[in-house]
């Protein structure tokens, strides 16, 4: 396996780790039970992605290196959403309102989709490209789920991009 492919796998692994931690952090800070459950479900999906990537990475006999604090911000860290800027303090606790939490999730999924789409088109290794295309499709499904929830909360009259009612 080429070094480029290993680097892409490492980037994908770090992306999934970041998504897991983001979703669990959002779940902890979201007061709505249904919202908490959705973010926990998204985190568990990302764990499955991570396990798949780790398994593939280990098949090539390479270690996944953990970043230390001395290393400057990575490309993956730049992909992570800004949660701190949207948090609000209530009764001594940090909370996110439901729409802010969903917007963060939407950003995370969009960035993951962009990452997987970009690298799936630049690889010569067809097997890895196929895996990244599948991860893209899964992240897109997450994106659509989150978008449907946002549409529902905002009362836009759309559910999965389909109008719930017609004026005709």
Per residue in 66-111, pLDDT tens? 433 343 454 444 544 554 555 455 445 555 678 888 888 899 899 9
Q: What is the pTM of this model?
A: 0.68
Residue 98 · residue 33 · CB < 8 Å: no
What pLDDT, on the 0 to 100 scale, is given for residue 116? Answer: 94
In 3D space, the residue among 146, 119, 158, 160 whose CA is nearest the CA of residue 45 turns out to be 146
Q: What is the pLDDT of residue 114?
A: 94
131: Cβ–Cβ under 8 A, 6 or more apart, which residues? 52, 53, 56
Q: What pLDDT sits at residue 68?
A: 34
**Sequence-separated (6 or more) residues with CB below 8 Å from residue 30:** 36, 39, 95, 96, 98, 101
Class of CATH domain 3-73+91-163? mainly alpha
Q: Please name the residues in contact with 25: beta carbons below 8 A apart, sequence gap of 6 or more.
A: 83
Residue 126, pLDDT above cutoff 60: yes
* Alpha helix positions (H), 30-97: 33-59, 75-79
Buried/exposed code over 95-125 (b: 16+ C-beta within 10 A; e: otherwise)? ebbbebbbbbbbbbbbbbbebbbebbeebee
CA proximity to 103, closest of 81, 125, 123: 81
pLDDT value, residue 104: 87
Give the pLDDT mean for 11-40: 88
Half-sphere exposure (CA, 13 Å, Cβ side) for 121?
6
Sketch the domain layout of the chain as residue ranges: 3-73+91-163
């Amino acid at each position: 396996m080429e070094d480029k492919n290993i680097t892409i796998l490492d980037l994908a692994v770090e992306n999934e780790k970041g998504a897991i931690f983001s979703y669990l952090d959002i779940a902890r800070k979201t007061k709505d039970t249904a919202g908490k459950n959705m973010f926990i479900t998204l985190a568990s999906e990302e764990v499955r992605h991570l396990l798949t990537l780790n398994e593939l990475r280990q098949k090539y006999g390479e270690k996944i290196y953990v970043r230390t604090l001395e290393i400057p911000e990575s490309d993956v860290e730049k992909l992570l959403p800004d949660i701190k800027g949207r948090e609000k303090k209530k009764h001594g606790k940090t909370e996110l309102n439901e729409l802010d939490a969903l917007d963060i999730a939407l950003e995370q999924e969009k960035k993951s989709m962009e990452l997987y789409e970009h690298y799936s088109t630049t690889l010569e290794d067809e097997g890895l490209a196929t895996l990244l295309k599948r991860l893209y499709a899964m992240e897109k499904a997450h994106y659509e789920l989150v978008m449907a929830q946002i549409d529902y909360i905002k009362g836009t009259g759309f559910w999965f991009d389909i109008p719930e009612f017609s004026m005709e």
